[in-house]
Amino acid sequence: MELKINELLELIREQVELFEERAPSVQAQVSSGASRDMSIPFPTIKITEAWGQPDSEDRQVLELLMKNVKGNTVEEKLDSVREFLEYKPERKINEIFSNLLFTEIFSNIMDEYNASTAGFLFEAFLAGLFGGSRSLQIADKDEETGNLPIVDVELNGEPYSLKVLSPDTPVKGSFFNLINHYDKSDYVKYLVVEKRGDGVLAFREFTLDKDTFLNYIGYAPAGEEVGKKEVVKNVPAEQLGLDPDDDEPEIKGVGTFVYTDPETGEDFRVLGKLKKSSGGRRDRTSLVEDEEYDIEIERGTETKRRTTGTTGKGKTLDLYGSYELYDKLKKIKNKDKLMAALKETPGYKNNKQFIISSVYVRDTAQDIGELDLGRDKLKTVAKEYAKDLEDSLIPIYRALQEVTMNTNKYFLSDEGETGRKQHALQASGNAGTLKTETDKLIK
């Protein structure tokens, strides 16, 4: 690949100033030129947000490096890498190369940056991993609202919102932006990466569309079905009688009574004390002839009010104003009608955030796999695959590294013309070794 002058200067600067250990699987050079004893001497790869743009040169390089990570979906690629991390002899060189670089780059993104920056770089990396013109990072603000979009990245044309979170951190976002997204698209997929302290990453995925939107955004569990209470006033004493099934019918006015609806003939068991319609204290003895009573019966069922667990910020009452409206919204099946109704909610009008708890995500989202990117795990795997690469790939990268180091010293050394010439001769010899080793690989 032909290097432009600014790219060459950048390469020299990086080699001199930023030779540091990127991962246990990489043999890195420190600024003094001393070598650390690692497994595979891959060249340093610059982590860049340009990976998210299909037309960038950095993206083209990443696509070339990642092309042998198999799979057409996030789940399939995770399965492929996870299977690779269980050592299997005689894998193809290109498969080893791509997967080891994947684990190096991804683990560095997760380990070296805070959650916000890691999430942004992960978006770019994931777009480059999938490759093609239909996989790109979405970073531009919405032209109409000036807000950042809900969709962070498109993968093979699928809209994704990505979240890199610690285990107890909820998924948050703009309710206003999410509703506006549905004016242009029917759905968005959420990919949630949970970072654990032991280097394990758990991946979960769920889709928001017109059928699942209210299952996640401001979700409130269904209320408990209970008997619907109804008060019947001025019931004549002769329409009430002690329940013959009552074991203690002589309890003074507090036994179980039977009321027969004169219109339907339906019998109701009336529990508790009776209150005279004419006022005064409750009758303490028994039914009084010619008196009338107010009674309470259960006719049908009703939904008991939900608990207060959904009343906080970003929850049911905060976004929708009432449980009744939430229940009505859940019954709307037409997308246009649902979107119109959602735009009338307090959450939309006041531009509030929605919140989905980490526990709810773990309980409901699709578990699409875990990756163990712990340092001990990666170091062990890299050493095993290094044996397979020892006679082919490693000599090439070692020679390439030495060419780079001696070229840098030629440009930057203050050892005088003789010293600089010596570095040039060494670089020439390194280049010859590189050619020899490359020819072996081709043959």
Full DSSP string of 299-357: EEEEEPPPPGGG-STTSHHHHHS-HHHHHHHHT---HHHHHHHHTTSHHHHTTPEEEE-
In this prediction, residue 296 has a pLDDT band, given cuts at 50, 70 and 90, of confident
Cα of first residue to Cα of last residue in the chain, in angstroms, is: 22
Distance (Å, whole) CA 348 – CA 218? 12
- Contact call for residues 100 and 23 (beta carbons, < 8 A): no
Cβ count within 10 A of residue 313: 12
Residue 142 binned pLDDT confidence (cut-offs 50, 70, 90): low
HSE toward the beta carbon, residue 399, CA cutoff 13 A: 17
What proportion of the chain, given as a percentage, has pLDDT over 70? 78
Separation CA 14–CA 31 (nearest Å): 10
Q: What is the mean pLDDT of residues 66-80?
A: 94
Return the minimum-mean-pLDDT range out of 4-18, 66-80, 154-168, 243-257: 4-18
Q: What is the mean pLDDT of residues 241-257?
A: 55
Write down the pLDDT at residue 161.
96
- DSSP code, position 232: E
Helices (H), 28-164: 57-66, 74-84, 93-112, 115-130
Q: Is the pLDDT of residue 248 over 90?
A: no
The first and second tokens of residue 27, run together, are: 């043999």
Torsion of CA 62, 64, 68, 73, to 10 degrees: 50
Encode pLDDT of 27-38 as tens digits: 333 333 333 343
For the chain, the domains span: 225-303
- Alpha-carbon dihedral 438, 96, 111, 51, rounded to 10 degrees: 70
Give 371's contacts (C-beta < 8 A, 6+ positions apart): 78, 81, 82, 85, 106, 200, 201, 203
Question: Which residues lie below 8 Å from residue 285, measured CB to CB, with a gap of 6+?
Answer: 252, 253
